[in-house]
Structure formats: structure tokens, C-alpha cells
């Protein structure tokens, strides 16, 4: 098969099979990630049928790693970490040490070397970001104290793994593997000199990114955003992510992963980060899927038959060992049993960072192929069993709560101190105006005249900057993109005004707004009678059709010009508006302003 065709084949079959297997996993109420890994098994060398090109899959997987780490950097929040630092920082470090020790113990029992044990243990210690966040979202725990602690814990784990990715290549020769070159040769075999040189390169790179990158990266994106071209902005985001990752590896000898992480981290401080994350998400998801497929290609299902006890031992470390350690740590820091059980269930699986460590361990000749298969088998099984593990911890929590004497032993006061440190989101009761053209700006000026709070969302970068200069809160980006409405504090908003004329955008915004803030009021602009009827059926607060309002205004003036009294003319126009609301969409003249519904809070007060 020609090389170009092999590339197309691995991408096409990988994505098609990932979709099919992912849908099957979803139907079975399993995380789609399990399906992606199984798709890789189907095109791997250990199953009959088509066998994908492993080298091409590995290079595509590397792009997936870069974009994954770029996304991790974009969502990295020092503020969130500091809010739960008293539990997340020591807890994650102790849990990583405990899990690494358990994994290293298994490796020692199987006769592996120290390097293999270290990589194996680290791979078992870190949870999957994708699985953890999805599990917390499904249970509506992401914004709870439990969710914040789990996310903070995960951030510390991710930072520890980033450090491991940096240090392992430098330490590999001393651990029984092979080095990746520059730092090791410069150190002339001296482990301490090699370590110092590696850390020095990382430090120099970090300084360059944190000092120069914090200015240059947002500036470049700002220039792309000012052009008003969606394609150029998306291209700028991807060029920066891949370019910094490649440049950091070439110039500083650090990993692609670390370079991409820093690229995302410096961009996270910019107000452009939400739109950058949204624009890079489709490509990030696609290559992340190919990354999981490439990992699945490495898995030999025969390990489940050849070494069932070893697989069970690995699964025991992931499900039981890590969970017991997490529960003990959380209880030791005087948090409730419910919090301890939630964190234990959240961390009782392994995922993408484990796969990155596996790939690195294999390339450095530290990890045997048996270790790779055991880690992949443990990952697939632990992710599959994670929903059941959550159900088990819920049952344990209810059982303990049903026994007051036993529950009293687990009462803790530490959570109160944590809650006091959390910054509560104030109930602002503001308006969100989506689109600040002629319609949106008129509404905004009315809000300003009455000193009412409002936030503007607009895709025009220059307009957003001008608004900020005038002291008006504004968010740059596509309001339908992930994170943009959240940046406008949609959860605390009283009304969203959709002043953009695009019908599909308006429909999606109404859905998103109600999903994120179920009680929010809605005001929609449309140019279609069919769309007007649709929004009315959906119970939107008010739908206005520009052409109809223009017709009513002209009708009022014409009637007055022909001798009708103003009061009679207005009564006629208003009655026509009311009649048009109940008329079929095909026969209706147009729809005007109905009587405003009382806001839910006002209705409650009345």
C-alpha cells in the first residue's frame, strides 16, 4: 500500500471504528474512551483483519498528545488549585507516592528493574482527566466542594506527571534504559549533572515562556482576532500550540508535551483563552481519539488469558489500593466520608497520562511490553468499571449514613474551613447581550441609561476592545462555543438578549442558556416567521421579528396621517399584534411586542 494511502487508511479507519465503538460504549453506558481503545485493538497487530501502520499511528498520536497537553494548559487554574491546596497538594503527592510504591512492588515481584517499576507505578497513580471530569459532570458534582477538591487533586497529579515526563529521559540511563541524547551526553554519564542540566533547560524554557511568551502569544492571537477571520484565528491557535511544542523540543530539548502545556498555560491568562479553547477543540478531540486508537493498537488482549492474576493485581492497585489511600488521606485531613468516597471513586481509573508514560517508557527501553499490556488492560477495565465503582461508593455512603453511631465517627469539620475559603459567585442579576451591532448596541445603551448591569458577547475583537475602553464588560468569542457563556457568568444572569440574526445560532443559544441556567429569561431577535413560531412554542420570553415591527410602526403613522386618533390607531395595532400570535405561521402578518411576562422572582414575591 502506498505511504500516502496508508496515512489516509489509518486516519479513516481509525475515526470510523472509533465512532462505531464509541457509540456502542455509550449505549452500554460506558465512557466512549473505552470504545476508542477497542477500535485500536481491532486495527492492531494482535487481532485478525486490517493492521494499521504503527509508525504513522504513533506520529498522529504525538499530535494528539500535543493538543491534549495544550488543552490541559489552557484549563490549568492556579486559583482553583490554591482554593483547595490544603488537601489537594499533600493528598495528591501522598497518593501518587503510595500508588507508585504499590506498582513498583508488583514490578519487583515480577522480577522487573527499578526503572520499569518506577514507570509502571507512576502510570498506575494518575487518573484520566477526561473520565474524571465526565463522571463529575454527570453527577452534577463539578461545582461542589467534592468536585473542586477532585479537580485540584487532578491538577497536582497532572503537574507531577509533567515533571516526570521531563525527568525520565534524563534519568533513563541510570535506571536501566537508554537516554534520548543531549542532556545525557552533556552530563557525560553523571546522573546528577544530567539531572541538573535537564532542570536548567526546563527552567530556561519556563522563564522564556512565562516572561516572553506571556506577552508574545496573546499579542499574536490578538492580531489574528482583529482581522475578524475565524479561519486565521483558529490557524493561529493551532500554529502556536504545535509550533511552540516543536520549537521547545528542538531548541531546549524538552518534550513536546511540556512545550504544549506551557503554550496553553500562558494563553490561559488571556481573555482570548475561551475562544482559543473552543476553536481548537474539534481538532483536539479528533487527534485525541486517534491517540487512544494508537494506544489500543499496542494492546495485546491475550494478556487477559496468559496473565489473569497479574491483570487482577494491577486492577486491584487501581481500584482498591488507590481508593483506600485516597479515603485515608481525605479523612486524615478531617473531611467528611462522602467527600472521601467521591474522590476515591473519581481517581479509581487511569487514562491518557498513563498512556503517555507507557509510550515514553517503551521508547526509553525502561518498560517491558508485558508492562504495557498490563497497564492498557488495567486502564480499559478500570474505566469500564468506574461507573459501577461510583455506585458502590454511593451505597457505602448511604449505608454509613443509616447508622448514626457509625456516621458520627466520620463527622469532620475541615469542610467548613474549606467552604469559607471558596469564593462564592455573587448573584449579579445582570443581562447578557449577544451581538452588539445596531440592535444590540441600542439595547445596551438603554441598560446603561438606567444603570442596569450587562455583559456583551461579540465576535468582533475591535468592538470588544472599544467596549472595554468605555468601561463595559465584554467577552470576545462565539457565544455558542464552550466556555463563552460561562465567561459571561450565565449562571448568575437574569436575562439573555440574543440580538444576532442567525436562526441556528439563536436556537443553540436558547438551548445552552437554559441548560446552564434553567430559570433565565430570554429575548430573541429573528427575521423568519417560522423561527418566531418555533421560539414561541419553546416558551421563549419574547420573540421579535424586525420586519413585522417595522410594518406596525409604519401602519401606526399611516393611520394617524389619514385622520385616526392616536389612541385608536395604537389600539388597532396592539390588537393586530395579539391576533398575530394565534394566527398560523403562513397567514400571520407579523409578531410584535406582547405583554412582558413577570420575572420568576417578581412572581414569587407577588
Sign of CA dihedral 166, 170, 173, 174: negative
pLDDT for 77: 64
Radius of gyration of the chain (CA): 28
pLDDT for 180: 58
pLDDT for 1: 52
Q: Is the pLDDT of residue 308 over 60?
A: yes
Q: How many beta carbons lie within 10 A of that of residue 415, not counting itself?
A: 18
For the chain, which residues make up each domain, given as ranges?
Answer: 58-400, 431-605
Which one has a higher pLDDT value, 603 or 272?
A: 272
Query: How confident is the model over 443-457, as pLDDT tens digits?
Result: 999 999 999 999 999
Query: How confident is the model over 467-494, as pLDDT tens digits?
Result: 999 999 999 988 888 788 988 999 899 9
**C-alpha dihedral over 62, 350, 130, 359, to 10 degrees?**
0
What CATH number has the domain spanning 58-400?
1.20.1530.20
pLDDT for 143: 63
Give the C-alpha separation, 168 to 143, whole Å: 35
Mean pLDDT value across residues 591-606: 45
Architecture of domain 431-605: 3-Layer(aba) Sandwich (3.40)
> How does the average pLDDT of the chain come out, rounded?
82
Q: Is the pLDDT of residue 552 over 60?
A: yes
Q: How many beta carbons lie within 10 A of that of residue 137, not counting itself?
A: 12
Asked if 226 contacts 459 with a C-beta cutoff of 8 angstroms, the reply is: no
Q: Is the pLDDT of residue 187 over 60?
A: no
pLDDT for 582: 59
Give the C-alpha separation, 280 to 235, whole Å: 9
Give the C-alpha separation, 506 to 524, whole Å: 7
Burial 44-81 (b: 16+ CB within 10 A, else e): beebeeeebbbebbbebbbbbbbbbbbbbbbbbeeebb
Highest-pLDDT range among 195-199, 470-474, 561-565, 591-595? 470-474
pLDDT for 396: 87
Amino acid at each position: 500500500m502506498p505511504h500516502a494511502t496508508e496515512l489516509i487508511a489509518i486516519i479513516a479507519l481509525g475515526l470510523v471504528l472509533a465512532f462505531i465503538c464509541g457509540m456502542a460504549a455509550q449505549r452500554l453506558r460506558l465512557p466512549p474512551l473505552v470504545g476508542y481503545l477497542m477500535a485500536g485493538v481491532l486495527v492492531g497487530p494482535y487481532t485478525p483483519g486490517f493492521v494499521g501502520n504503527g509508525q504513522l499511528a504513533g506520529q498522529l498520536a504525538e499530535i494528539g498528545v500535543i493538543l491534549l497537553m495544550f488543552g490541559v494548559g489552557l484549563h490549568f487554574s492556579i486559583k482553583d488549585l490554591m482554593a483547595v491546596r490544603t488537601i489537594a497538594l499533600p493528598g495528591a503527592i501522598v497518593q501518587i507516592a503510595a500508588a507508585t510504591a504499590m506498582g513498583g512492588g508488583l514490578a519487583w515481584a515480577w522480577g522487573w528493574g527499578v526503572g520499569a517499576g518506577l514507570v509502571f507505578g507512576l502510570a498506575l497513580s494518575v487518573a484520566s482527566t477526561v473520565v474524571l471530569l465526565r463522571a463529575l459532570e454527570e453527577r452534577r458534582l463539578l461545582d461542589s466542594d467534592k468536585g473542586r477538591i477532585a479537580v485540584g487533586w487532578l491538577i497536582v497529579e497532572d503537574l507531577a506527571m509533567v515533571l516526570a515526563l521531563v525527568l525520565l529521559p534524563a534519568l533513563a540511563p541510570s535506571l536501566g534504559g537508554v537516554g534520548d541524547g543531549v542532556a545525557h551526553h552533556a552530563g557525560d554519564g553523571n546522573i546528577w549533572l544530567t539531572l541538573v542540566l535537564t532542570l536548567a533547560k526546563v527552567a530556561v524554557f519556563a522563564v522564556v515562556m512565562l516572561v516572553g511568551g506571556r506577552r508574545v502569544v496573546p499579542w499574536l492571537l490578538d492580531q489574528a482576532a482583529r482581522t475578524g477571520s475565524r479561519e486565521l484565528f483558529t490557524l493561529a491557535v493551532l500554529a502556536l500550540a504545535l509550533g511552540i511544542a516543536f520549537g521547545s523540543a528542538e531548541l531546549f530539548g524538552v518534550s513536546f508535551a511540556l512545550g504544549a502545556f506551557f503554550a496553553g498555560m500562558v494563553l490561559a491568562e488571556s481573555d482570548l483563552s475561551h475562544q482559543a479553547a473552543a476553536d481548537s477543540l474539534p481538532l483536539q478531540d479528533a487527534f485525541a481519539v486517534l491517540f487512544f486508537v494508537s494506544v489500543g493498537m499496542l494492546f495485546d488482549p491475550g494478556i487477559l488469558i496468559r496473565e489473569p492474576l497479574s491483570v487482577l493485581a494491577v486492577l486491584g492497585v487501581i481500584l482498591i489500593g488507590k481508593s483506600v489511600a485516597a479515603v485515608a488521606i481525605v479523612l486524615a485531613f478531617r473531611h467528611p466520608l462522602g467527600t472521601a468516597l467521591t474522590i476515591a471513586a473519581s481517581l479509581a481509573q487511569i487514562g491518557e497520562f498513563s498512556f503517555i508514560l507507557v509510550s515514553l517508557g517503551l521508547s526509553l527501553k525502561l518498560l517491558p511490553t508485558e508492562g504495557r499490556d498490563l497497564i492498557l488492560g488495567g486502564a480499559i477495565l478500570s474505566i469500564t468499571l468506574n461507573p459501577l465503582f461510583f455506585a458502590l461508593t454511593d451505597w457505602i455512603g448511604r449505608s454509613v449514613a443509616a447508622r448514626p453511631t457509625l456516621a458520627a465517627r466520620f463527622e469532620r469539620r475541615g469542610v467548613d474551613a474549606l467552604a469559607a475559603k471558596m469564593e462564592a459567585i455573587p448573584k449579579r442579576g445582570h443581562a447578557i447581550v449577544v451581538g452588539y451591532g445596531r440592535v444590540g448596541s441600542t439595547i445596551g445603551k438603554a441598560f446603561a441609561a438606567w444603570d442596569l448591569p450587562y455583559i456583551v458577547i461579540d465576535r468582533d475583537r475591535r468592538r470588544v476592545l472599544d467596549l472595554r475602553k468605555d468601561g463595559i464588560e465584554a467577552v470576545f468569542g462565539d457565544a455558542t462555543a464552550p466556555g463563552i457563556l460561562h465567561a459571561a457568568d450565565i449562571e448568575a444572569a437574569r436575562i439573555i438578549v440574543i440580538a444576532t440574526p442567525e436562526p441556528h445560532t439563536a436556537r443553540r443559544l436558547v438551548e445552552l442558556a437554559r441548560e446552564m441556567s434553567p430559570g433565565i429569561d430570554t429575548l430573541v431577535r429573528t427575521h423568519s416567521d417560522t423561527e418566531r413560531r418555533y421560539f414561541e412554542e419553546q416558551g421563549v420570553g419574547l420573540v421579535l421579528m424586525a420586519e413585522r415591527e417595522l410594518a406596525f410602526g409604519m401602519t401606526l403613522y399611516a393611520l394617524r396621517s389619514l385622520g385616526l386618533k392616536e389612541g385608536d390607531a395604537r389600539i388597532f395595532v396592539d390588537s393586530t399584534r395579539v391576533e398575530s400570535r394565534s394566527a398560523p405561521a403562513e397567514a400571520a402578518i407579523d409578531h410584535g411586542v406582547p405583554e412582558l411576562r413577570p420575572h420568576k422572582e417578581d412572581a414569587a414575591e407577588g
